[in-house]
Structures are given as structure tokens and as C-alpha cells.
Amino acid sequence: MALLQHDRGAAPAVPRPQSPPPRRRRRVSLTPYLFLLPGVLLFGLFILYPIAQAVQISFYDWNILRGAASEFVGLDNYLCAMQDDRFWLSLGNSGIYMLFTVPPQIVLGLAVAMLLRSKAPAQPLFRVLYYLPVVTSWVVVSLLFKHLFADEGLINFTLGDLLHLTDGSTSWLSERWTAMIAICALGVWKGVGWSMMIFLAALQGVPKSLEEAPTVDGAGWWQRFRVVTLPAIWPAMIFVIVMLVIGGFNVFTSVLLMTGGGPGGQTEVLLTYMYRQAFSDLDSSYGSALAVILTIIVFFASAIQLRVFREKEENR
């Protein structure tokens, strides 16, 4: 009995906490890094190193023969650009090209994507036809448009002899504004297919049930597009806008081959002006400064767009 009472009053035995098993050292495999190493080396050699060299050269009065013995001038090349009328003219032309090519590529690309969204027997053929200009060489299409807009080219023949809208003697590539029209027309024609493919991929991810739901309430196609379709493809829209703005500031080949920056430098854009300073006038320091300025402009333009779009997305 006493033994039973002793057992009842005894405190239960507390199990000792077991020590955690020793952690095994995580073995790091070097195989993925070995596969990445060639790409990283090539990126550093052909991308990062030239960028660093361009920034360095922009602070010198660089002489290709003297090399390291070139004179350090600090910000003189950048101050020279701020006082250069040709720089501001080329910057304005780059802005004009961007403003007159980006919105049409977005609107036409989205419209074509909406039309090619439905299944049809000839749908793959039309997709290829619209995307064909994108993969065509810039050199080829620039020379083609140069002949189309020549004094006796197809554009003058169509507008003058066929439609009788002009006298057919417009010298498109000899004046600033008409030349910019020709250059922008090439940019739009070549870029619509790219934005079409991005929008088409985004539209295919929108559920049909989501788009058909407003129809029950009597919503028309514009209401369905504005309330359902556009918000659903908004991330793709942001991507397209940012990439097209970057591409607009980097226009080069079409201007170089169609007008050469003429007449009298009136159609120069930032890249062609930078190219002439660096490789025609052999002023590498000023050309490098222009390249750095262009990089800064593109960076801030992209950052501002992303910031605005992000705030708009958060406010929804």
C-alpha cells in the first residue's frame, strides 16, 4: 500500500531532449558554374569591358595613337555636348522617331493580334506574313525603302500618277520632315509584327470564360476589351512599351542608309551622330561621351516608365 502511494505521488519522468542530428555539409557542385563560365567570360570581355573603356575614354581627350598618354579633361566632353546644337538636333530627331513609331506599333500590333486570335485555316500564313519584316535584315529593308521613297520611286508614282494626291515630284529624302516620315514608316512597318507576337501570346492566356462573362450583362466589345482583356494583358503591354521606347532611342541603320543623316545633318539621330564623331571624325572621346549620355537617357526613360506602370498597377 505504501509502495502504491509512493508511486502515485512520484513525479512523472521527463524524457531527456535528444540532441539534433549533426548537420550534413551541403556539397556544392561546381558543374553548373563551369558551364556558366564561358558565357560570363564572353559577356565580360565583349560587353562589360567595352562599356568601362567607353566611360573612361569619355573623360579624356583621347588620341588613338597616344592611348594611355591621352590628356584627362574631366567633364569637358559632356559640357561640350550640352552646348552642341547638333547634339540637341539629333536628340530631338530620336525623340520624334520614338513618338511617331511606338504608339502605331502598339495600336497596330494589338489590332492585328486581336484579328489573328481566332482560329482560321489561313491563320498561320498571316502570322508568318506579319512577322516576316521583323526577321528581315535592317540593311535590306532600309535600301528597299530608300528606293521606294526616291524621287521617281513607287511612293511618288502611287501618290501622283495613280491617286493624283500630289504632283508626284516630292523629294522625300531631301528634306527633314519628309525624310523623317519615310524613316518612321519603315520603323512602324518593321516593328508591328514583333508587338503582334507578344500581344498574341498574352491574349492566348486570357480565359474565354472571363471575356464572355460581361456579354451576359450586355457589354459590347469595347467594354469587354477595356474591362477584361486589357487588364489581363497589361504586363505584356508594359513590356512592349518599354522595349519599343528603348528601340526607338537606338535607331541607327535605317537613318544611316536612307538619308545618311542629311540633308545637312537634319535627320541625324543620337546613334548616327555618335558614330560620325567616333569613326568619321575620329573624335573617340566625344563619341564615347555621347554614348554614355544616350545610355543614361535610356536608363532613366525605362526606369520612369516602370515606376509609373508599377504605381498604376498598385492603384487598381
Q: Each residue of 232-269: pLDDT tens digit?
A: 888 899 999 999 999 999 999 999 999 998 888 899 99
Cα R_g (the chain), whole angstroms: 31
Q: Print the domain residue range for 60.
A: 33-74
Same domain, 66 and 105: no
Asked if residue 282 belongs to a domain, the reply is: yes
Same domain, 110 and 64: no
Residue 4: per-residue pLDDT? 46
Contact call for residues 72 and 59 (beta carbons, < 8 A): yes
Residue 19: per-residue pLDDT? 58
Residue 145: per-residue pLDDT? 94
DSSP codes joined into one string, 225-255: IIIIIHHHTHHHHHHHHHHHHHHHHT--HHH
The tens digit of pLDDT for each residue in 47-86 reads 999 999 999 999 988 877 665 557 888 899 999 999 999 9
Same domain, 195 and 252: yes
Retrieve residue 295's grid coordinates.
545610355
Same domain, 180 and 70: no
Asked if residue 172 belongs to a domain, the reply is: yes
Q: What is the C-alpha to C-alpha distance for residues 247 and 8, in angstroms, rounded to an integer?
A: 85
This model's pTM is above 0.85: no
Same domain, 177 and 309: yes
Asked if residue 183 belongs to a domain, the reply is: yes
Same domain, 65 and 210: no
Q: Which residues of the chain have a pLDDT value below 50?
A: 1-7
CA distances from 181 to 101, 166, 186, 230, 259 (A): 10, 16, 9, 30, 12
Spatial neighbors of 178 by CB under 8 A, at least 6 apart, are: 170, 171, 172
Dihedrals phi, psi of 27, to nearest 5 degrees: -80, 125
Give the length of the chain: 316
Spatial neighbors of 132 by CB under 8 A, at least 6 apart, are: 193
Same domain, 111 and 146: yes
Asked if residue 9 belongs to a domain, the reply is: no
Number of domains in the chain: 2
Residue 10: per-residue pLDDT? 52
Residue 3: per-residue pLDDT? 44
SS3 call for 71: strand
Same domain, 55 and 200: no
Residue 281: per-residue pLDDT? 85
In the chain, what percentage of residues exceed pLDDT 90?
49
Residue 16: per-residue pLDDT? 59
Residue 22: per-residue pLDDT? 59
Same domain, 115 and 248: yes
Contact call for residues 132 and 190 (beta carbons, < 8 A): no
Spatial neighbors of 144 by CB under 8 A, at least 6 apart, are: none
Asked if residue 1 belongs to a domain, the reply is: no
Retrieve residue 100's grid coordinates.
511617331
Residue 205: per-residue pLDDT? 83
CA distances from 216 to 87, 220, 228, 233, 289 (A): 57, 10, 14, 22, 59
Q: What is the C-alpha to C-alpha distance for residues 84 and 76, in angstroms, rounded to an integer?
A: 12
Asked if residue 27 belongs to a domain, the reply is: no
